[in-house]
Amino acid sequence: MKFVMTQAVCPEGMKLLDGVSQVYVADNQDPNNYLDQMQDADALIVRIAKCDGHAIEHSPNLKVIGRTGVGYDTVDVKKATELGIPVVITPGANNRSVAEHAVAMMFALSKNLVQAQNEMCAGNWEIRGAGKAFELEGKTVGVIGMGAIGRETAKICQGCGMKVAGYDPFMSREKIEALGAKYYADYRELLKTADIITIHVPLTEETRNMIAKEQLASMKKTALIITVAGAASSMSPTWSKL
Ligand SMILES: NC(=O)c1ccc[n+]([C@@H]2O[C@H](COP(=O)([O-])OP(=O)(O)OC[C@H]3O[C@@H](n4cnc5c(N)ncnc54)[C@H](O)[C@@H]3O)[C@@H](O)[C@H]2O)c1
């Protein structure tokens, strides 16, 4: 079998491929740039990359596309399915990492870490008096998408003394409440009351643009919004957008 990988994975992962397979590590995000290597590839392993229909169509031997993560919106799943090529993910591989990242962003924002660090490095020690820091304890975090990452994030937040409110149309009230979270049937209601919103949904027709101008405007003026659900994870204090 020949494996093509857009990027190498951790040494333990690479070791699994030792000796049993031919492996080509492209170190390049787009298989269209090495279609010659794709001609006899049996499997494509995609990390931070794009795999469009053109690349899939021009990989005649391809039997499987694996994503080393859980989102697959960078892969043209429709084209792969048309050609009978399964697209597989690695559930559970990075729940904790992504959840910790989301909480790290909450701390960074609530302690004004980025601005404080930048100002201090520029010699402005007065930044410590800016009065922008606040405590997370007692604040309400609204978790949109109570799947593996959302639940892990909720758990860490609860450990920090935060209240959790959850929205997930595919989870029952009982399940959400059993996680110690307040249940919301409509995320627009949750947006109005949460101090921090953290988003952990896949990209679908329903979730695309689910937070737009109108939703941002409905949030508390001091609310924070964090999204680590996409390739470009980001944090943005909403007041800078309003
Ligand atoms: N930034 C990163 O490094 C990184 C890493 C891994 C995953 N992700 C993203 O995080 C997403 C979630 O990952 P996960 O492992 O928790 O997946 P998961 O499938 O366990 O959870 C996703 C949850 O979203 C819910 N959901 C679906 N549609 C919804 C909607 N319209 N409104 C609210 N909830 C909805 C589902 O019911 C499910 O519970 C992935 O799809 C991926 O895009 C990002």
pLDDT tens digits along 69-97 = 888 889 999 999 999 999 999 988 889 99
With pLDDT > 70 as the criterion, what percentage of the chain qualifies?
A: 95
What the block records as the tokens of 217 is 């405007």
Determine which residue's CA is closest to atom 35 belonging to ligand 1. Answer: 145
196 strand-pairing partners: 141, 224
Determine which residue's CA is closest to atom 34 belonging to ligand 1. Answer: 145
CA of 19 to the centre of ligand 1 (A): 35
Query: How far apart, in whole angstroms, are the C-alpha atoms of residue 225 and residue 209?
Result: 14
CA of 121 to the centre of ligand 1 (A): 37
CA of 200 to the centre of ligand 1 (A): 5
Helix %, strand %, coil % of the chain (to 5): 35, 20, 45
pLDDT at 56: 98
| Mean pLDDT within 180-196 | 98
Question: Confidence class of residue 130 from pLDDT cuts 50, 70 and 90?
Answer: confident
Three-state DSSP class for residue 236: strand
Residue 21 has pLDDT above 80, yes or no: no
| Of 156 and 202, the one with more pLDDT | 156
Query: Is-contact 38 62, C-beta < 8 A?
Result: yes
